[in-house]
Amino acid sequence: MSDNTLPGIREVTYAITPIELFFDLVFAFAVSQLSHHLDTHLSMRGALETIVMLLTVLTVWSYTSWAATMIPAERARTRWMLLIVMLLGLFMNASITLAFTRSGWAFVLPLLVIQLGRTVWTIVSLDVPVRREHYQRVLVWFVVTTPLWLAGALAAANGRVMWWALASGVELVGTWLAHPLPGRWLLSENVGFDADHMLERCRTFLLIALGESILTTGSAIIDVSGMGLTLPTLVTGTLAMVATTALWAQGFGRSNRIIRRHVERTNDPIHASRHAVNAMTLMVAGVIALAVANQEVVSRPLGGTTWPLALLLAGGPFLFLCAQGWYLWAVSAVRPRTHLVGAALFVPVGGVSLQLPPWGALTLVALGLVLFAVSFNRAA
């Protein structure tokens, strides 16, 4: 049995409220923690741990933002829900950097209370059958992953990441497939939803990630400047800012206009919003990778470029462009050829970077991002 759609529903739209922006501050802290964790654990294991934490943090943020879009934050019960999730999220995010070295309970317990409690709250609060039935399936998926999170918390620190990677992977599959159950799945055409609001929430989170990139670059400049700026610091700090600005221009330029036009005429706003969250997850991962790379280059601009640094420098833009290209194709049928070519160019950039000093590798990346952003945004 599939969901029954409700033809002709038009959702009342409303602007982002101050409490939603206040709520985002806890997750700005999470992005900072994730960047710090990756920077201090620059290895394959550290990258896996960061990915698991990123997927989990964004799951909490996105599902809460979805609930606050369907049940507007102007309502008192939604404001209380956001404040409670903020409190629990503060403790959850504060434990990110210690979750794989000390007890995992400080991360898992707030996580499970948020995910299960907020989902039950959403089911009780919704008044549209299609949505309520969908969140009943969401609850089933969260219940299935709960033993995996608990097993990870019980496991030794060196085995925890595998349990949690499995749990976050199952939840990621559920998110991408809209939480199907046997004989029951989501048909979202003609179901009302404030896509403009949810898309703006996604753009806000992307800005948070870009802001963290600027903060990490600024912190690195402070750390190495001492009594004054040196030429290498001035050059690499400028290049880092140029690269971050190019990502901003790519995320908020022509692609933004394409999606806005699509949302104005689509009869499936939920589809556009679901994929926005999916793409944003990968784009934020790309921004964090480049932010950590910027910090490493500013801190150590000379010498040789290591393979983890080359992977971050080239992999961040690669992931960002692939995710954005996929989203434009999946939602508005824009051919992603330009994005695929642009992303592919960063593969040899990563290889060449190994032969260059860090400042030279960052120069290549910044130049590539600027050229792509200019060419794509100038296209008709």
How do residues 101-146 score in pLDDT, each as one tens digit?
888 999 999 999 999 999 999 999 988 788 889 899 999 999 999 9
Q: Is residue 10 part of a domain?
A: no
**Both structure tokens of 118:** 């907020």
Q: Is residue 8 part of a domain?
A: no
> What pLDDT sits at residue 367?
95
Is the domain of 221 the same as that of 171? no
Alpha-carbon Rg for the chain in angstroms: 21
Among 159, 329, 362, 190, which residue's Cα sits nearest to residue 269? 190
User: How many Å apart are CA 63 and CA 140, to the nearest integer?
Assistant: 15
Q: Is residue 1 part of a domain?
A: no
CATH number of the CATH domain containing 252: 1.20.1410
* Domain boundaries, position 130: 18-177
Query: At residue 9, does pLDDT exceed 70?
Result: no
Number of domains in the chain: 2
Is the domain of 308 the same as that of 334? yes
Residue type, 221: I
Is the domain of 215 the same as that of 288? yes
> What pLDDT sits at residue 116?
97
Residue type, 81: M
Last residue in a domain, options 143, 177, 211:
177
Is the domain of 31 the same as that of 109? yes
Q: Is residue 30 part of a domain?
A: yes
Q: Is residue 3 part of a domain?
A: no
Is the domain of 157 the same as that of 199? no
CA angle, corner 238, sides to 287 and 292, nearest 5?
30
Q: Is residue 325 part of a domain?
A: yes
Is the domain of 228 the same as that of 322? yes
Is the domain of 315 the same as that of 359? yes
Is the domain of 173 the same as that of 200? no
**17-46 as b/e, with b when 16 or more CB fall inside 10 Å?**
bebbeebbebbbbbbbbbbbbbbebbeeeb
Query: At residue 163, does pLDDT exceed 90?
Result: yes
Give the mean pLDDT of the chain: 89
Do residues 296 and 359 touch, judged by C-beta distance below 8 A?
Answer: no
